[in-house]
């Protein structure tokens, strides 16, 4: 049986991380996507307690990934990295279990990434209000933070996103996994 894979898909909101992850699980039976945006909305009053909710979400994500990898199954984590330390922890989980660890960055230049997020119109969590132009400073800050943290991860595999054609991005992703 091949080693399980822990695949971290970094990228800004709207880059296509979840789309690529779901394409992978469609081609790989019993592989699992752990999508934080889908989990956090199941926490009561998470928006009013966002810092604590995100801390708990990180703990939950690590536990779920570990459990699934131990069973010999692939795990994909669509993840907007705001702390390189988080990536270190996921990499350690993979190493401790004997799983392969892959780290990808689905990359757009900052103006394109922000335009893509604004076009999508939401952050990603179900039930969130639409993004407004008033949030541009927050969006800019988040993009800058992600970029700073990803500079600390020079070994990540960078894939330039083809906006509007996730199949091209997915093919490149699969090609990189097979090398």
- Burial track 26-58 (b if 16+ CB lie within 10 A, e otherwise): eeeeebbbbbbbebbeebeebeeeeeebeeebb
CB-based contact 8:21 (threshold 8 Å): no
pLDDT of residue 69: 98
pLDDT tens digits, one per residue of 32-41: 999 998 899 8
Domain that holds residue 160: 5-178
Q: Is the pTM of this model over 0.75?
A: yes
Q: Is 127 helix (H, G, I), strand (E, B) or coil?
A: coil
Q: Give the contacts of 2 (CB within 8 A, at least 6 positions apart).
A: none
Looking up residue 53, the CATH number of its domain turns out to be: 3.40.50.300
3-state SS string over 141-167?
HHHHHHHHHHHCCCCCEEEECCCCCHH
- φ/ψ of 127, rounded to 5, equals 85, -5
Tally of CA atoms within 13 A in the half-sphere of 47 that contains its CB? 7
C-alpha–C-alpha distance, residues 43 and 64, integer Å: 16
Tell me: the pLDDT tens digits for 68-101? 999 999 999 999 888 999 999 999 999 999 999 9
- Give CA–CA dist 105/101, Å, rounded: 14
The pLDDT of residue 126 is: 63
Quote the number of domains for the chain: 1
Parallel/antiparallel/unpaired status of strands 100-107 and 5-11:
parallel
């Amino acid at each position: 049986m091949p080693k399980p894979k822990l695949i971290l898909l970094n990228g800004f909101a709207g880059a296509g991380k979840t789309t690529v992850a779901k394409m992978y699980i469609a081609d790989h039976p019993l592989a699992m996507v752990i999508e934080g945006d889908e989990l956090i909305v199941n926490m009561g009053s998470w928006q009013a307690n966002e810092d604590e909710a995100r801390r708990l979400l990180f703990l939950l994500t690590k536990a779920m990934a570990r459990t699934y990898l131990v069973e010999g199954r692939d795990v994909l984590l669509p993840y907007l990295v705001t702390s390189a330390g988080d990536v270190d922890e996921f990499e350690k989980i993979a190493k401790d279990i004997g799983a392969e660890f892959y780290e990808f960055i689905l990359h757009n230049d900052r103006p394109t990434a922000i335009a893509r997020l604004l076009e999508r119109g939401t952050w990603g969590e179900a039930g969130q209000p639409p993004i407004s132009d008033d949030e541009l400073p927050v969006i800019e800050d988040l993009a800058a933070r992600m970029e700073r943290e990803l500079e600390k991860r020079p070994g990540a595999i960078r894939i330039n996103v083809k906006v509007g054609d996730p199949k091209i991005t997915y093919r490149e992703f699969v090609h990189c996994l097979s090398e």
